[in-house]
Structures are given as C-alpha cells and as structure tokens.
A and B are shown apart, each in its own frame.
Chain A
Amino acid sequence: MTERLIITPEADSERLALADGSASMRFVPRLGLKLPRYHFHVGRIVHASQELDLFRVQTTLLLGNDLTGSAELSDFQARPDLDDTAQAEAFTRLVSAATARADSMAERGDSLVAELPGWHDARGQSPFWHALGARFYRGDPATAQLRLGEAWRSHLAALLPRQTIYLSFLGGEAEARLGQPDTSAATIAAALAACGFKASCHVRINDGGPVLRRRLSDG
C-alpha cells in the first residue's frame, strides 16, 4: 500500500503532507547549499599516560558543516487534536512515504537527516544552551529565532569556538543531556526510529539536540 502525499513546492524545498491532513513536514533535497548549516560533530579523544596510570576518554565537540548536501526532513506538524499515539502513527506514515519517495529521487543527498530539539527542563531552559551558547551570545535565542527564522543558528555559529571543545568543560548537566531529544519531540523521535533513522554523531549547536540519520539507496 502506497501512502498518497500532497506535495507543495517551496523555495529549495517541498512541503509534504498526508492526504488526510493529519501531519506534514518539509523535505529539503540538499541542505546548506545557500546559507551554511552548522552542527557539532561529537567525537572522542583519549588522554592516556602509562607512566601516570591514566586513561581518560574525553568527548569533544567540533563545529563544522558536515551535513552539507544531505537531504533533510524538518518542520514537523501534526493536527493538534490528535493524541500522542495518533500523532506518532501519522508521523510514521509520513516519514515512511517521504523516505520511499526520496529513495527513488535522483537529485538529493546520500542520506536523509532530521534534527530534533534538544532537552529542555520544565521551565523551558536548555542546560546545553546555558553552558555553551549563552556564554557566546547573551541575547534570547527565542527572540533571535523569531527574527531570523531557522537561519539564526547559522549566525550563532559565527559566535561559537571554531576549535575542539571538550564537553567536560560544559558541566555535568549539559554533558548528560547532550543528544537527548526534548520530550515535546517524542512522537517525531518514535516515528523516525520506526522508519530506520539512527542517532548520528552530530548535534544541534544551540541546544545539543540530536541529528537522526538514515542512508538513502544508492539510486
């Protein structure tokens, strides 16, 4: 059974919606080709000394444009009257159909990625933002996002360190929440997982939210 999608072209992207109107999202065949897109690559460095009997694994963050040219799913919307189960089900149908369609397209990146917002506490505060971004941009991220749209993070990148950041400098809370999606994105995360998306070694630069990734067929 093939899910029917309603496709609305937009600038450099398309809006994909389920025919029953229960969910929609944006599909970008190749991201970051006009305005550079930034992510942190999460890596590891081992500091070891036999003489001192030390072996310490450090997690590192490195700012870069690693995902440039990948295809992307973003801006997930579900009908607000649906409960979580129904939302997850609608998103799964939508992502599944979009992935099948992307697989058959010629002009798109080798893999399909989707970003999820990072973990926020009950007051809407992100420990990752507080430990890193806020030290480099004193303004309010929500206000910046309202003014500049999603592009605000490309501008934020200009203010962040270019060199390797050791995660342990950010403190325990930010460390623990790195790559953990916000609870508000649980239904999207479940749908992506059901469609074969896996955690990647990239996170969002503002709130440490995960980038999930699925390889597309070689065409």
Chain B
Amino acid sequence: MNPLLLRPVAAADLPDLMRMAAASHDGISSLPNDEAKLRMRIEASLQSFASPDDASGEETYLFVLEDAGRIVGCSGIAASAGFFDRFYSYRNEFVVHASAALEVTQRMHTLHLCHDLTGTTLLTSFFLDPAYERGPAAQLLSRARLLFIHANAARFSGRIAAESPGITDAAGQSPFWDAVGRRFFGMDYPEAEAVIGGRSRACIADLMPPSPIYVALLPEAAQWALGQLHPVGELPFSILQDEGFDADTYVDIFDGGPTVEAPLASLRSVRHARELQVRPGAGTGPRRWHLLVRPSRASFGAVLAEVGETLGVDDAAALGARVGERLLATPLNPGGAA
C-alpha cells in the first residue's frame, strides 16, 4: 500500500495552500500567492464538487495530495477555458513565401493570435513538494485529474489543454515578453504580472496586435525562448507529453511558454483506463501498480495501488470504497514494468 492520497481541497487546507503558493513559481496565473484569492479558489472548488449535475462550465476544481495526512502538492482543473470571456493563445503557423524571379522559396514561422482553446478544459495549478519529484507522486497528482474528467465527461470539454510557464531569466524577465508584450504595454514582465494578476487575460490580449507576428522579426533571444519551458515546468510538462499531449501548436501570448492540447479520448491514461467493480475479499490476477480512482464528485479520491484483473475491497481500502462500487484504474506505467 502506498500512503499517497489525492482528494478534493477542503477549507482547512488554506494554510498548506498558502505555503505552496509562496513556494511556487507559476507565471501569471494558476496559484496566486494571496490569502483572499486562495480562499476563493477553495470555495470555488467546494462549490464545483458539490454543484448539481447541470454544470455551467465556470467550475474550477482543486485537488490536494496527502502523504500520510501531510499535504505535499496540489493540482487543479478549470472546466472551460476563458469561461466568462475569450481564451487567447498564439498558434504556430507556417507560410511559404515564394518568388520565382528572385529564386526564393521560404518557409516563414508566424504566430497567430487565436481563440482556438476557448472552452477547452484546462489543467491548472500543478505544484509538488520538490522532495517528491522523483517518485510516482507526480503521476498521481497530474493524471488522476484526467480520470476524474473522463468519469464526469458531461461537465468538461472533450479537449484538454494546459499552460506551462515560459523561460524567464534570473531577474524574472521574459525575453518573449520583452520582444512582444512589452511593446504594447510599456512595462517589464514582473511589473506586467503584478498589473495583470487577477484581471481577465482577454482584456489584456485585446491590447496585443491582431495581425500575425513573423518570428523572423523578433530578436534572437525571443526566437529562442519561443515554446521553451521554465525549468519548474519540466516535470508536469513531461507527464503531459507522455500522455500524448501536442506541444507544437500553441504558445502562451505573454511568455511564449508551450500550451499543450489534446482530445481527452486520445490520452494514454484514458485509453488504458478500466472500470472495475469492487468485489468482496481480495482481487485476482497478476498485480501491477495503478492509479486507482474513486471518480464520483461526492466521494472523489485517488491512490496508487497494486491491482490485478479484478478488484477486491481490500485493494481499495484507502479510498473507503464499498463492495459493488465502480472505480477506475489505469496502469502507472502502461507498457512498462510493473
């Protein structure tokens, strides 16, 4: 039995969230280092888990990861990106410019301001205590969300997206922001983060140029930063890449970090997910490590457990599941060693 448990955030988790928010670096959004805002995030999540079945799309869900009762991480879901407004991204597009007379055919990389990801379900707020980064905790923290979405599909979009923080230097300056946003806002990145924090990103994006940006016109540092991750984003990003998310199409309009996107049904954890009914006694068949998820909103929980072909009530003890209940299981390492 593994002692890790992922569960919905509770009001009493506020001090732990504040501790994590203070320790996290997360670009403009996600986990605000601000008590009042965190309290609102918790309240919004409590309501989302409790709200009736006809979801409006404005729900946000926040999960916390416990290790033997101690909170070591959190992750979230926003049901519908840009719910009250538009959700902006830059889409990578390539145009071929050609002149027969000049004997030139040239593939030009452009960034198009778009609303493509408006309404997709966003994975947000990933934070994990660095002491747990090498273990399977990150898998549970990130991927159990996908099974929650899968099991409550009517409340979410069939397309899932996630933002990752882009590259910044030691002073917090973003080369992509310096080359693009700064020209339209006249402020540096840390200052913009402070001004933008809490405001609708759409109102900000309205100030950006609507015409495509030719990457060739940007300074080299900005070209290089495009689509690059901040090192703190590497772990959650690599998990999403392994899931099959596409990282080549969209980038963040502010810091140029990659925004990944994929249809839910194509993701590895969802493709390999099995629904198992809890049986009395012990499970049967060869046992492998799984993410085991009790997916209902009212009693959500997820653990790492060894599961065979069938599921016994003892296997699901950490989730408090009863005989006859249906749980979701997906292999911790599909195709890999147990």
- In the bound complex, residues from chain B placing their C-beta under 8 Å from that of A169 are 179, 183, 213-214, 217-218
> A155 near B206 (CB under 8 angstroms)?
no
Contact with B along A131-157 (1 / 0, CB 8 A): 110011111000010001001100110
Contact of B104 among A58, A131, A159, A163 (CB under 8 A): A159
Is residue B171 contacting chain A, with contact meaning CB distance below 8 A?
Answer: no
Is residue A164 contacting chain B, with contact meaning CB distance below 8 A?
Answer: yes
> B106 near A58 (CB under 8 angstroms)?
no
> A159 near B217 (CB under 8 angstroms)?
no
> A54 near B99 (CB under 8 angstroms)?
no
- In the bound complex, residues from chain B placing their C-beta under 8 Å from that of A170 are 217
With A137-B102, A148-B101, A159-B106 as given contacts, are A49 and B207 in contact (CB-CB < 8 Å)?
yes
Is residue A122 contacting chain B, with contact meaning CB distance below 8 A?
Answer: no
- In the bound complex, residues from chain B placing their C-beta under 8 Å from that of A168 are 183
Contact of A139 among B97, B104, B184 (CB under 8 A): B104
> B214 near A135 (CB under 8 angstroms)?
yes
Contact with A along B80-98 (1 / 0, CB 8 A): 0000000000000000011
- In the bound complex, residues from chain B placing their C-beta under 8 Å from that of A155 are 99, 101-102
Contact with A along B170-205 (1 / 0, CB 8 A): 000000000100011110000000010001000110
- Within the complex, the shortest CB–CB distance from B185 to chain A, in Å, comes to 7
With A137-B104, A164-B211 as given contacts, are A47 and B184 in contact (CB-CB < 8 Å)?
yes
Contact with A along B96-126 (1 / 0, CB 8 A): 0111011010101000000000000000000
Taken together as a complex, chains A and B put the C-alpha atoms of A134 and B58 apart, in Å, by 47
| A interface size (C-beta, 8 A) | 32
- In the bound complex, residues from chain B placing their C-beta under 8 Å from that of A148 are 101-102
Taken together as a complex, chains A and B put the C-alpha atoms of A159 and B100 apart, in Å, by 10
Taken together as a complex, chains A and B put the C-alpha atoms of A132 and B216 apart, in Å, by 9
With A54-B186, A56-B184 as given contacts, are A139 and B102 in contact (CB-CB < 8 Å)?
yes
Q: Which of chain A's residues 41-55 have a Cβ closer than 8 Å to chain B?
A: 45, 47, 49, 51-52, 54
Taken together as a complex, chains A and B put the C-alpha atoms of A184 and B229 apart, in Å, by 49
> A144 near B214 (CB under 8 angstroms)?
no
Taken together as a complex, chains A and B put the C-alpha atoms of A144 and B195 apart, in Å, by 49
With A155-B101, A156-B102 as given contacts, are A49 and B209 in contact (CB-CB < 8 Å)?
no
Closest to A49 in B: B207
Contact of B99 among A138, A158, A166 (CB under 8 A): A158
- Within the complex, the shortest CB–CB distance from B143 to chain A, in Å, comes to 38
> A161 near B195 (CB under 8 angstroms)?
no
> B195 near A52 (CB under 8 angstroms)?
yes
Is residue B308 contacting chain A, with contact meaning CB distance below 8 A?
Answer: no
- Within the complex, the shortest CB–CB distance from B255 to chain A, in Å, comes to 18
| Central interface residue in B185, B210, B211, by most chain A CB within 10 Å | B211
Closest to B108 in A: A136
Taken together as a complex, chains A and B put the C-alpha atoms of A164 and B101 apart, in Å, by 24
Taken together as a complex, chains A and B put the C-alpha atoms of A160 and B184 apart, in Å, by 23
Closest to A144 in B: B102
- In the bound complex, residues from chain B placing their C-beta under 8 Å from that of A132 are 217
Closest to A157 in B: B99
- Within the complex, the shortest CB–CB distance from B111 to chain A, in Å, comes to 12
Is residue A165 contacting chain B, with contact meaning CB distance below 8 A?
Answer: yes
> A56 near B97 (CB under 8 angstroms)?
no
Taken together as a complex, chains A and B put the C-alpha atoms of A139 and B216 apart, in Å, by 15
> A165 near B211 (CB under 8 angstroms)?
yes
Contact of B97 among A47, A144, A152, A159 (CB under 8 A): A159
Is residue B244 contacting chain A, with contact meaning CB distance below 8 A?
Answer: no
Is residue B158 contacting chain A, with contact meaning CB distance below 8 A?
Answer: no
- Within the complex, the shortest CB–CB distance from A219 to chain B, in Å, comes to 37
- In the bound complex, residues from chain A placing their C-beta under 8 Å from that of B102 are 137, 139, 144, 148, 152, 155-156, 158-159
- Within the complex, the shortest CB–CB distance from A3 to chain B, in Å, comes to 39
> A136 near B216 (CB under 8 angstroms)?
yes
> B209 near A58 (CB under 8 angstroms)?
yes
> B207 near A47 (CB under 8 angstroms)?
yes
Q: Which of chain A's residues 27-66 have a Cβ closer than 8 Å to chain B?
A: 45, 47, 49, 51-52, 54, 56, 58
- Within the complex, the shortest CB–CB distance from A112 to chain B, in Å, comes to 28
Given A136-B216, A139-B102, A152-B101; 7 other pairs, CB 8 A cutoff = A45-B209, A54-B185, A56-B184, A159-B97, A159-B99, A165-B217, A169-B213
17 A-B interface contacts by CB (under 8 A): A47-B207, A52-B195, A52-B203, A54-B186, A56-B207, A135-B217, A136-B108, A139-B102, A158-B102, A159-B102, A159-B104, A159-B106, A161-B211, A161-B212, A163-B211, A164-B211, A165-B214
